[in-house]
């Protein structure tokens, strides 16, 4: 029986899981992330949930349910603090340990479970041998964005760090430092600091990675005898990596793994030239057999608070280094999408207006990007029936989809709604040098328009542009 296709985002349209950390436990891949709420005014409003898929079918994701609630931590009984990006490892005792930080509180919590996706119970806060909680000593580095590794030799390493000084009002403690990415070794109890935190990824100066300095999003993996550290740089829209022969230092810069806007690919260095809207991102590496993937997230709804999980295949150079992945619509599919069938517009990997793209983490993004297209959905958070779509396609707006296996001339049907008239242009190249033109006129409800298109044969991108007056919502398209 043929497997279903896998798309980006790889979870259902109504699910908003940023900061996804993928891990293989047994014969399944488990993704642990924070949990945004659609339409929320801030990050990570919901409790932690888990999704998993068989290692041999990354299209078949299963919802595992809520694994840890905000108010399970005794320092957050009212649930007012937000659960930011977590990580999980299987400890030397065989149990599973969940590491988390509450927003900008400056404390790292730990929960434990006997199974990868069961009900985690609060264990304690990362602390010094004398019982002082990490983040409550004068001069402590600010605990944030945990990445955890239980090494082959039984030693346990915890990575952390943030670029911007946390507001004193949030931490309640004014003496925390933010010098970059840190590492500590933990005792076998998975809570007690064995070696004092040390900065191994300075955010500036000697030892930093010029042009791609550490910002946040610590994530750690081991590949043979090499340690691979993934992080978000000061650009925010990219995930980079560094390599070392040991877990507690000596890392050298490896390069960019993925950028939301495909910046640093094909000579594209300026944000205005990005192929998608930019904001923060966070994720981790997954290795299945000889195939590596990078997990990350994208923004929706014209802000940074409704983010969705994406992933891309990685290719390696002969020397073992990774090449930067291109953002696609088919990251976990194992190849291009079929050149026939109905596809939701939400799987677009490229999106821009006639004025280019912008940042969702800038000042007043809704106002600044009022004339731009964006991903959104009908209904409120976690309504399974809500359909996601691209809203506000105005003159010159382009949605790009990569990649399809085409076999010559096709009928292309586009489903739109809104109030606009003009044409939909369809091309396999972003310059629309050769394009099919489909006249459209939308006044209110959904309407489908069709035309013939010959993109040739082979693996091709598909770009769809609205040209005209007014604004339309792009729901879906069909190839047949």
Annotated active-site residue in 216, 238, 415, 473: 216
Place of tokens 């990824």: 201
Counting DSSP H helices and E strands in the chain, the numbers are 2, 26
Ordered alpha helix ranges (H), 227-375: 365-368
As a whole number of angstroms, the distance between CA 329 and CA 211 comes to 28
CB 81 within 8 A of CB 102: yes
If phi over 0 gives left and psi between -120 and 50 gives alpha, with beta otherwise, what is residue 207?
left
As a whole number of angstroms, the distance between CA 394 and CA 473 comes to 9
- In angstroms, the first-to-last Cα distance of the chain is 22
CB 38 within 8 A of CB 377: yes
Q: 126, 33, 89, 100: which is closest to 222 by C-alpha?
A: 89
Interacting residues of 29 by C-beta distance below 8 A, sequence separation 6+: 22, 23, 52, 53, 54, 55, 58, 286, 288
As a whole number of angstroms, the distance between CA 284 and CA 88 comes to 12
As a whole number of angstroms, the distance between CA 134 and CA 108 comes to 7
Buried-exposed string 404-439: b where 16+ CB fall within 10 A, e elsewhere: bebeeebebbbbbbbebebbbbbbbeeebeebbbbe
How many C-beta atoms lie closer than 10 Å to residue 267's C-beta? 6
Annotated active-site residue in 19, 21, 36, 326: 19
Q: What is the dihedral of CA 247, 259, 48, 104, to 10 degrees?
A: 70
DSSP character at residue 367: H
Active site residue 153: no
Active site residue 19: yes
As a whole number of angstroms, the distance between CA 269 and CA 19 comes to 24
How many C-beta atoms lie closer than 10 Å to residue 70's C-beta? 21
CA 82 → CA 126, 159, 170, 456, distances in Å? 18, 20, 12, 50
Catalytically active residues, by annotation = 19, 216
């Amino acid at each position: 029986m043929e497997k279903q296709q896998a798309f980006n985002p790889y979870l259902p349209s109504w699910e908003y899981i940023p900061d996804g950390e993928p891990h293989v436990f047994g014969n399944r891949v488990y993704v642990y992330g924070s949990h945004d709420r659609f339409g929320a005014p801030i990050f990570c409003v919901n409790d932690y949930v888990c999704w998993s898929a068989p290692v041999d079918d990354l299209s078949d994701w299963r919802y595992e349910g809520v694994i840890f609630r905000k108010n399970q931590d005794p320092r957050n009984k009212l649930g007012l603090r937000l659960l930011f990006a977590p990580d999980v490892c299987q400890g030397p005792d065989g149990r599973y340990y969940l590491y988390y930080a509450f927003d900008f509180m400056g404390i790292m919590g730990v929960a434990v479970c006997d199974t990868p996706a069961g009900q985690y119970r609060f264990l304690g806060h990362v602390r010094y041998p004398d019982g002082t909680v990490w983040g409550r000593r004068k001069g402590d580095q600010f605990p944030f964005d945990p990445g955890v590794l239980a090494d082959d030799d039984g030693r346990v390493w915890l990575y952390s760090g943030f670029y911007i000084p946390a507001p004193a009002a949030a931490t309640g403690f004014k003496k925390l430092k933010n010098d970059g990415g840190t590492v500590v070794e933990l005792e076998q109890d998975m809570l007690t600091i064995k070696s004092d935190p040390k900065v191994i990824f300075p955010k500036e100066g000697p030892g930093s990675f010029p042009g791609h300095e550490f910002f946040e999003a610590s994530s750690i993996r081991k590949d043979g005898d090499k340690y691979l550290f993934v992080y978000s740089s000061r650009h925010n829209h990219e995930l980079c990596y560094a390599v070392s022969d040991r877990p507690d230092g000596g890392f050298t810069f490896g390069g960019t793994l993925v950028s939301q806007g495909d910046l640093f690919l094909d000579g594209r260095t300026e944000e205005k030239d990005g192929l998608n809207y930019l904001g923060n991102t966070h994720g981790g590496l997954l290795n299945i057999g000889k195939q590596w993937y990078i997990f990350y997230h994208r923004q929706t709804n014209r802000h940074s608070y409704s983010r969705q999980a994406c992933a891309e295949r990685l290719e390696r150079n002969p020397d073992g280094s990774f090449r930067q992945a291109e953002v696609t619509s088919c990251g976990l599919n194992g190849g291009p999408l079929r050149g026939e069938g109905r596809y939701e517009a939400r799987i677009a990997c490229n999106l821009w207006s006639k004025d280019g793209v912008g940042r969702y983490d800038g000042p007043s993004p809704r106002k600044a990007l009022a004339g731009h297209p964006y991903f959104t959905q009908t209904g409120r958070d976690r309504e399974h029936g809500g359909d996601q779509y691209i809203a506000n396609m105005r003159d010159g707006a382009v949605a790009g989809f990569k990649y399809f296996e085409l076999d010559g001339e096709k009928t292309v049907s586009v489903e739109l709604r809104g109030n606009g008239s003009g044409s939909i242009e369809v091309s396999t190249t972003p310059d629309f040098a050769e394009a099919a033109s489909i006249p459209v006129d939308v006044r209110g409800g959904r309407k489908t328009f069709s035309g013939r298109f010959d993109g040739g044969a082979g693996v091709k991108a598909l770009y769809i542009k609205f040209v005209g007056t007014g604004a339309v919502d792009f729901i879906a398209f069909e190839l047949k």
